[in-house]
Chain A
Amino acid sequence: MSLNDLFCAMLETSLNKLQQFDKSSKVQRKQLAENIIGITFKEFNQTLYFVISEQQIDVLNIYEGHVDCFIQLSVFALNDLKNNQKLTELIRNEQLDIVGDIQLAQQFAQLLTVIDIDWEALLADKIGDVLAHKFFYLINKGNKNIKNKFKNKKNNQLSLLLAEKNISPAPLEVAFFCDQVTEIEQQLLDLEARINRHRH
Chain B
Amino acid sequence: MNKVPESTTHFGFKTVDEDKKVELVAEVFHSVAARYDLMNDVLSLGIHRLWKRFTINCSGLRKGQKALDLAGGTGDLTAKFSRIVGPSGQVVLADINDSMLKVGRAKLRNAGIEGNVEYVQANAEELPFPDNYFDVVSIAFGLRNVTDKDKALASIYRVLKPGGRLLILEFSKPLYKPVSKFYDFYSFNILPKLGKLIANDSKSYQYLAESIRMHPDQETLKEMMNKVGFENTEFFNLSAGIVALHRGYKY
Contacts and interface: CB of A to CB of B under 8 A. Distances in A.
Interface of A: 1, 5-6, 8-9, 33-34, 36, 51, 53-56, 58, 60-66
A56 B54 CA distance: 19
A1 B86 contact: no
Contacts of B87: 34
B236 A65 contact: no
B83 A53 contact: yes
Contacts of A58: 80, 83-84
Contacts of B63: 34, 36, 65-66
Main secondary structure of the interface of A (DSSP, over half): loop
A55 B113 contact: yes
B50 interface: yes
Enumerate the 10 nearest inter-chain pairs by beta-carbon distance, A residue then B residue, closest first. A65-B62, A53-B83, A62-B57, A64-B60, A55-B112, A1-B54, A1-B238, A34-B86, A5-B53, A5-B50
A6 to B, nearest CB: 6
Contacts of A64: 60, 62
Interface in B210-251: 236, 238-239
B218 to A, nearest CB: 15
B49 interface: yes
Contacts of A6: 50
A54 B112 contact: yes
24 contacts: A1-B50, A1-B51, A1-B238, A5-B50, A5-B53, A5-B54, A6-B50, A9-B49, A9-B50, A9-B53, A51-B83, A51-B84, A53-B83, A53-B86, A54-B112, A60-B84, A61-B57, A62-B57, A62-B58, A63-B62, A64-B60, A64-B62, A65-B62, A66-B63
